[in-house]
Structure 1
Amino acid sequence: MTKTPELTDTEIAIKDLVLHDLNARAGSPETYEADDIPVLAASIATLGLLNPLIVQKTDKLWGVIAGGRRRAALMHLVNDPEAKGWTMRTKVRCRALPDDTAAATAITVAENVTQKAMDPIDEFEAFVRMMETGGHSPDSIATMFGVERRRVIDRLRFGRIHPEIRAAARARNITLDVMKAFADHPDQAVQKDVFDALQGSYIQAWTIREKLRNRGVKMGDAIARLVAEDYRAADGAITADLIEEDSILTDEALVEKLLIEKLAAHAEAERARLGFAWADAMRDVDYKALQEFGRVYPSSVDLTAEAAERCEAIANRLAELDEARDAEDCPDIDALDDEYEALNEEYEGLTVGFSDADLGRSGVLAYWDQGRIATVEGLIRPEDRQDRTPEASPGGEGTTAGEQGGDGETESDALVLSESLKLDLRTEQAAVIGTALAGDPDLAHDLLLFKTIVDLLGRAGGVSYSFGVTASIADRPHGRREDVDGRAAETLGELFGGLDLTWWADGKSMPERFEAFRAVEPGMKSRIVAVALADAIKPTGFGYSEGLMAHVATQIVPDLRAVWRPTGGAFFSRLKKSVLLGIIARDLRQPEEAARLATEKKTAIVDFLERLFAAPFATLTPEQREAVETWCPPGMTIDAPRVDHGWSGESRLRGMAEGDAEETDDAAQMEDEDLPEEGTFEDADEMEVENA
């Protein structure tokens, strides 16, 4: 049994401290290159070395048995030009261990094995205590630990979440990410209210944020910035946050009232500037609401002599700017572009405008649109629309009340349709066309293929806007795209090169291209569709909602490793050295290689795995070869599809045939309610692990 050794307190210069060969982390030098070493260094610089290093004499130097990270932080301070007073001769507190190998081994193992990382919630609460009872500010805490102020703010906000919610996270009843989501609102009462309302259901972070978003307006939001000054003047209630932009304007009714006032003031300013008859404001406006209005547009105006002279000067200057911008040695293209744009705008303002008659019957509508005030000019109110010139009358454009048309009709006899009636007629027209298309399966099949293919291949932006079907290629972000296994891209390129795309010849109209596509041989059509669809597959997990994709994937890619392999640049280099050694020893069944590589640098291990997966070595045993040829990292494997209680479209089709849209919608809604929500059942445990 190892006796408790006697340790001697001493002070040793940093230059005389080295990592002891018996240190438990001596084989993992990357431990001392972690991102948190600067944090530890900042703490030592501010508070001093709270725990002395455990050392043992080795030749002329002192080997650090316990405290390798503290030594790394001290070296960081020595090499930091902004850290004053730290040199290689600076002495630090140590406790010296006698020449006892057994005791040294026991101490270093105990130092690392018995350590327990601080619970994140304890850390958050400790930061709060430092500020509330220790007299610290977010800035002083950030300086003390050498971290960004925002990081400190986040931890303070997490530590101020309602105590019951923090207790639920500590008890693992909710994940840490779920707990953090409650920090989106600084009011603990609101947090608790939302937390209580979600009891009994599977709680997800996005659900919480969505509910908190409807409990007031953040100061950082565009609406809040617009009304903040007036809101404070009206003594509106504000729930303060550590960051001002995250504080909440809690009186939503007052916010909406002030927003409408701002919109109305903006509309009135535009009305006065442009000379319209009226100004109005609306919180939100959609296309359907605007259809109820008439609209007049600016046209060319008669120029005064002064305006004509200015326009001529602008035209001459624009010509000079065109020539200057085209020159190879253009000194400041951005300034010239700005001037060009400003002159164009001035020219348009002088030459184009609304007529007096149009100004007298139309106005300006201001509304809130995606974080800004938007305006629509030249609107004619629905009640005033009978005063406008009819858009289409037998007498021709420009016929006014009482005038006679060319065929003897007066305007009172002419057919003038309201916008709502026009929209209804278009709806009926679409139903007639759709029904006819349903009766011609071959045409419908080719039309759907044509629209989908052209969308996916990026051949045109506007094949037709009449379809409710739109296809788009998937967004596939990747941090190391240039390092991935290129076989899939090469295969796709070869397949694309073998396609017959002559139907998309330049100079053809869209109908001509469609008819040419219809004449393509069926087998080639299928190949075109397959290649076009290749870029539409989105990165996704194969959960309950992706049972179909999993079903298809397991058929067409029965052996993923036959067509894909992990590479050094895209995969292995992004893992820790200890993880790589674990893969070699455990998953690839090569413990001897793992032991040999343990003393090598991480780059050598990555290179070994790169070569191993590119061409399994001839020296491998059959078991090792099979392990290499079949190994896949988590997230890349394609598992068998899960049971999917998916919606059946039978009732939907039956409803369409019977023309009973209301009954169909009800049936679809009932069936949709039977679907498992994303993230439920077995997915719930996986998501909690991911979130944690």
Structure 2
Amino acid sequence: MAKAVHKITLDRSEDIPFDKLELSQQNVRNIKAGVSIEDLADDIARRKLLQSLSVRPILGENEEETGRFHVPAGGRRYRALELLVSQKRMAKTEPVPCIVKRGEETSAEDDSLAENVHRVDLHPLDQYRAFQTLREQGLGEEEIAARFFVSVATVRQRLRLASVSPRLLDLYAEDEMKLEQIMAFSITNDHVRQEQVWDMLSRHHTRDPYYVRRLLTETTIRAGDRRAVYVSVKAYEAAGGVVMRDLFDEDNGGWLQDPALLEQLGIEKLRADAEALKTEEGWKWVESAFDFPYGHTSGLRRFYGELREFTEEELARHDALKAEYDELDADYADAESYCEEIERRLEELGNELDQLNDRPFVFDPDEVARGGAFISLAANGELKVERGFVRPEDEPQVKTEGDDPGDADGDIGKAADASSSAAGISVNGKPVSDDQPEEEDDTLRPLSDRLVIDLTATRTVALRNALASDPVIAFVAVLHAFVLKIFYLYGSETCLELTLQSAKFSQTQGLGDTLWAKEIDQRQEAWGQDLPKKPEELWDYLVALDDGSRQALFAHCASLSVNVVIEPWNKRTRAIANAKQVARSIGFDMVTAGWVPTFDNYLGRVTKAHILQAVGEAKGEQSAQLIDHLKKQDMAREAERLLDGRGWLPEPLRIIGTETGSEDVSPAADEAGDDPALEVNVGDLPAFPADAADLSDPHQEAHDDDGYSHLDAAE
């Protein structure tokens, strides 16, 4: 016999006069959030109540209903109705639809919590479709925003989803895409291009929004781009790619018009090279990317190999060449005249010795089994391989006396965020800042937060490099930090502890290619090769080190803790003031360090007003007037030429000396005599900017529009 199913009964709805209701103290919502009570009251006045209140009868001494009710669920609606009554916009006896709950199956607190927890926010796609319907009904963006208490920008963002392919929107509705990805695709209205990019990305794991934008906004790529060199134009054309060529001028190989295809070919080739390296050398993992952010190895332990020993044949050859070189060089030093033949022979011997000394490094097999490598592309398109990194989770677990079984021996730092596939190989895209072009007008706007971060990140690396060359000031800088910690802030909970932090600058493109970053990396590599392989041998090594080498090592480590990056949420006023003290003490400024304003690092990323301001400060207003009629890209390139050698710096890089004008740090200040305004004679100025005659030709101007866009395709 079938078991009878218990049928539920729902609580009945009643219209209860508002003055018979009172707010329950058992309502769990105590923190204000979401739409304000005032806005909710206005919404109720416009569209009336959309959801009933949940109430319970108030009982008297004999457990009899008193005719009054308290509201444990719906407190915000109750307060909004109360506000309407106090404003005389609603009668206090107005019937309010209520769900009356009698019985003790659940408590008032339980009902209040369930009402708030079980609520699900509207899906952004549903919100977009609703906004779209309202707009089709004649409502404007401002009115929609006012009705639903959101910003106009939010309405516009949701409506912008209309530019995304319906196919991709369906994938988003099925949770196969994220909102950030959909927003990235909305940057273009080309549905075919959107679907092409998604189909390419769906075959790989890299689907970050910045990568989507990068593929959608790229137009063409130079044949000299490192990705094109790596893949080869021949392979690109064999895969169906089109190369645009200039038949009337030197084009350096032309421009590749299908960035997505080149990206796909590059990713596939990188994966194959990573697989080959992993298989041939036995690494546990190999991570590859066209470019890694500066500091990508932070948090990973580095181990170094040793040069492969000479074979007997190589050693004999090396000794013979070295003996001949030394003998010939000694004899030639005493010669009275130049001999081309001897010079050529010395060069040949030197090259052969270099080839013999340039032997591969041999790594400990045990370390290789737990370690990995990074493969990326150098600026010339050749593979760049960084070997010998161990992630914290791959460190050997060593149990010591008093340790728990799960404790690892030593503090190996914080793990870097590194993605990998199941096979131990991953391919990542290069981070690209999402600088948005500013609207052009004559107003001198503040520099963008992204540009300030990039400029001050560049200054940080340059100052690190400068501080590393001055061990005395490096000691003073660290001692200054010690005294602040010991005497002015909080004491340490351990007997002695110093935390050395090194900030990352993952969004600043090209930072790893600067002279300062390369010198830092060279020092890091050189010390890594010299230091003992086992950490327990480090103390004796440092004790035995001579004072000069010990100070140089200290300065190198101290310099990596420098951070003078200015971020929108962290102006770091006191740290920047201290950075100026450090910079003055070592005689550092960005001009002498070698920074110059270029199209890529500054001029192409600011408004025309900023460009004219820079030229005016460095060369005078007459120079600025000569280029103020040019288009943005032409103006930026001409300004790069005019500012070359002038020693001008944007405000975020003026770290020492008087910072109110660039003339204080410019060599041109001396040429101007006593005039602080840096007077420029008309005769010293070019009659027209470079190639101005060409720019005046309307046919040439149209060509330049295309030319610059091709030449400036993002790498």
The answer to whether the superposition gives a TM-score over 0.5 is no
Which is higher, the Rg of structure 1 or of structure 2? 1
Between Structure 1 and Structure 2, which shows a larger proportion of helix residues?
1
Tell me: higher relative CO, structure 1 or 2? Use CA pairs within 8 A at least 6 residues apart.
2
Relative to the length of structure 1, the TM-score reads 0.31
